[in-house]
Structure 1
Amino acid sequence: MSRAPYLVFEDPDLPERSLRVLVAANLYPHEGAENYGTFVRDEVGALRRLGVGVDVFYVNGRASRLNYFRAAPAYLRRTRARGYQLVHAHHTLTGPMARLERRLPLVITFHGSEVAESYTAPLSRLLARLADGRIATSRWVESRLGRPADAIVPPGVDFDLFRPADRDESRRALGLPLDRKLVLFVGLDRPDKRVFVIERAVESLRADGIPADLLRVTDKRHEEIPPYMNAADVLVLVSEAEGSPMVIKEAMGCNLPIVSGDMGDIREVIEGTAGCFLCDKSVEGTAAAIRKALDFGRRTDGRPRVMHLSLEESAKKVRAVYERVLERRGKR
C-alpha cells in the first residue's frame, strides 16, 4: 500500500470532454491495495464510457488521517489544473477537503456506515448542507443526512464479471472440497464486519452435524471473487452497519443464496428472492438463517432481479446529478 499522502489518476481524454469532473476519494485501487475502493474505480470507468471526463484525486487517509490535511494544498492546485466544472467527493471524510474548493460545485456521495457512526455522523449532516449535490447509496443513508438526496444511486455491479457458473467446477478450480457446505464471507476482516458471529454460527451448525465450513475471502483481487461466490453455498453479511454493500448485489448476480442483517438497502435488494434470508445478526439468528439457506439447497433467481443495478445504469444517474447541479449553479 502506498504511503504517499495522495495520488492522482488522470483521464487522458478529459481535455476533449464537454463535462469534466474531478473525483476526490479516500478509496481507490492502487499499487499494493488493488481491491481498495473498486466500486469507485468502476463508477469512474462507467462515467468515462458515457463521455464524462474524470480525473481522480485519491487522498490516502488509510495510511494516516493527517493526510487529509497534507493533501489539501495539492488538491486545491489540482482543482485549477484541467478546467474542471465540478468536484465529486466520495465518503464523508473526503468532504471537508473537497469543500475547501469554493469556485466549483461539489457533489458528495455518502456511502454507508459513516452517516451513523461516531463523529462522522454529525459531519455527514453538516456536509449534506454544504454540498451542492447529494448522492446517497440507499434510502437508509439518505434518512440520516437531514435533507433529501438529489438521487439514490447504489454503486453499480459489473454483471459481466459477476455471473453464475457451475458450483462443482468452481470448487475444483479453487481446490475446495465438494462434500462440504461452504459459508462465504467476502470483505475486509474488520471488527465492524462481525465475522466472529459467522464463525460461531458455523460452529453451532457443525455441532448439530451439518458439515459446514466458513470460507473467508479477504485478500483477493476483485476479479478473483466470482469463482468463490459460485463455489459457495451461501454468502453471509452481519456487519454493524452497511449502506448499499456491493457483495450482496454481486452475490445476487451469481445467483448465490444470501443471509444478511437488515441494513441499508439489503432488504429491498433481496426481498422476494427465494433462498435469501434476513436475520437479527445474533449468533443464534444467523445460524438459523444459514440453516434455511442450506436447506434451500440450490441457486437463486437473483440475477434478473438486480440487473437494473448495473454499472451503466448507476453511472447514468450520477451524470444526471452532475447536470442538474451545474444547471442550478448556472455553469452550463
Structure 2
Amino acid sequence: MKILYVTNMYPSASYTYNGIHVKEQIDYLTKNYPLEKDIYFIDGGHSKINYFKSIFRANHLIKKTDYDVVHVHFGLSGLFLLVNPFLKTPVVLTIHGSDINSPKHFGLMRLVTKMIIPLVDRVIILNDKMLSKLSSQREKLVKIPCGINIDQFDSERINDGKKFVIGFPGNKDREVKNYPLFREIVTSVAARGVQVETVEFHNMTRAEVALNLSRLDCLLMTSHSEGSPQIIKEAMAGGVPIISANVGDVELVISDVENCCVINTYDPGDYIDEIMKLTALEPQQRITNGKHKLSLLGFDQQSVCSKVYELYRSLAK
C-alpha cells in the first residue's frame, strides 16, 4: 500500500520535538508493514501561509500519484479537502486535541476541523471526550491513542535527592499548557521550604527526554486541554509520579497507578497538597508501576500501529 501523510505535526530543524510521536508512528508502520510513504509537511509554525499553499500542493500530490490511503494528522492539515470534497482516495483523519478543543480565534480551528470531518472516511480519536464532542459522526470514529516505545523511556532513575525536580510537560509559551498555574504551584511549594528545580520538556531529542524524565520526582500537568498526551505515557514508562489536571485521557491512563493523581480543579492548593505528599517520601520511593499499566492498556507502539494498519487495509482501494 502507498500512503500519503499530510500533517502539520512533524519534526523540523527549528522545532525538533514537533509531532515526534507522529513521525515515530509513521516510521514504525513503514518499517514493520508493507507500506510505502510520502510525507507532505505543512510548516504552519514557520508561516500560516503554508496552510493555504497546502490546499493546492496536497491535491496536486494526490492527483499525480495513485495513493491507496491519505492519512491526515490534525484538523487544519485537511484544508485541501474543502476544495476537493469528492476525492476518491480514502482519507483517514487523526484528531490530536487542540484541533477539536481550541476556543481560540472564535473556535475557528474547531470549526474547520468539523467542516473537514464529513469529508473523510474514518476519524481516529484519542479519548472518549472526543467521542462525546463528535457524536453526530459516531459511525466514522475509531479510538486509537498514539503509542510509544515503552523501553525507550524505561531508564534508571538518577535523582540524587538534593532537589525536588518537577517537570513541565510542554512549551510554556503555549497558552493551552497553562504555565501560569504551574509557576504558581511551584512557587508555593518552594515557599514551604522545598528546594525545587523545574524542567521544561520542549524541543528535546528523544534521548534528552528520557534522560530528563529519569531526573524527575514529579511530572506536573496543568493544561487546559489535551488529547492523549505522549509525555504522560513517557513518564509512566519511566516510573515517574504524575500529578495532572483531568484533561484528555489522563484519568484513564494513570488511574490506579501508584503515586499518581488526577485533579478535577484548577485550584493551586489541590496540586500543592499532592506534591507535598510526594516530598514526604524518600527519593527512592517516588516511583510508579506505570510501565505495567501502559502494557495493560495496549499503548505500546506495536499494539497501536497494528490497529492503524488494519484500518488502512479496510479502506484501501
Same topology, TM > 0.5: yes
Alignment partner for residue 246 of structure 1, among 212, 230, 233?
A: 230
Deviations 1:116-164 (A, max 9, x none): 2222223323322221111001111222123224421111111231113
What is the correspondence of 1:280-291 to structure 2 with a 5 Å cutoff? 280-291=265-276
Is 1:112 aligned to residue 97 of structure 2? Answer: yes
Q: Which stretch of the first structure deviates more once superposed, 32-41 or 73-82? A: 73-82
Equivalents in 2 of 1:196, 1:150: separation in Å? 35
Equivalents in 1 of 2:153, 2:300: separation in Å? 11
| Paired position in structure 2 for 1:321 | 311
| Paired position in structure 2 for 1:212 | 196
- Report the CA distance between 1:218 and its aligned residue: 2.3
Secondary structure of the residue aligned to 1:107 is strand
Amino acid in structure 1 at the alignment position of 2:69? L
Equivalents in 1 of 2:69, 2:44: separation in Å? 22
Between Structure 1 and Structure 2, which shows a larger proportion of helix residues? 2
Residues 282 and 114 of structure 1, relative CA distance in 2, 3 Å threshold: farther
Is 1:31 aligned to residue 13 of structure 2? Answer: yes
What stretches of structure 2 of length at least 5 have no aligned partner? none
- Report the CA distance between 1:100 and its aligned residue: 4.2
| Paired position in structure 2 for 1:14 | none
What is the correspondence of 1:294-313 to structure 2 with a 5 Å cutoff? 294-296=279-281, 297-307=285-295, 308-313=298-303
What is the correspondence of 1:88-167 to structure 2 with a 5 Å cutoff? 88-98=71-81, 100-101=83-84, 102-117=87-102, 118-146=107-135, 147-148=137-138, 149-167=140-158
Q: Which stretch of the first structure deviates more once superposed, 254-263 or 277-286? A: 277-286
- Report the CA distance between 1:294 and its aligned residue: 3.1
The 8 Å contact of residues 17 and 202 in structure 2, kept in 1 or not, is answered as: no
| Paired position in structure 2 for 1:7 | none
The 8 Å contact of residues 131 and 141 in structure 2, kept in 1 or not, is answered as: no
Q: Which stretch of the first structure deviates more once superposed, 86-95 or 315-324? A: 315-324
Aligned Cα root-mean-square deviation (Å): 1.7
Alignment partner for residue 232 of structure 1, among 210, 213, 216?
A: 216
Provide the identity percentage: 24
The 8 Å contact of residues 90 and 109 in structure 1, kept in 2 or not, is answered as: yes
Amino acid in structure 2 at the alignment position of 1:97? F
Residues 293 and 81 of structure 1, relative CA distance in 2, 3 Å threshold: farther
Instruction: State how many pairs are aligned.
Output: 301
Alignment partner for residue 162 of structure 2, among 168, 172, 179?
A: 179
Q: What TM-score does the superposition give when structure 1 sets the normalisation length?
A: 0.85
Amino acid in structure 2 at the alignment position of 1:121? R
Secondary structure of the residue aligned to 2:199 is strand
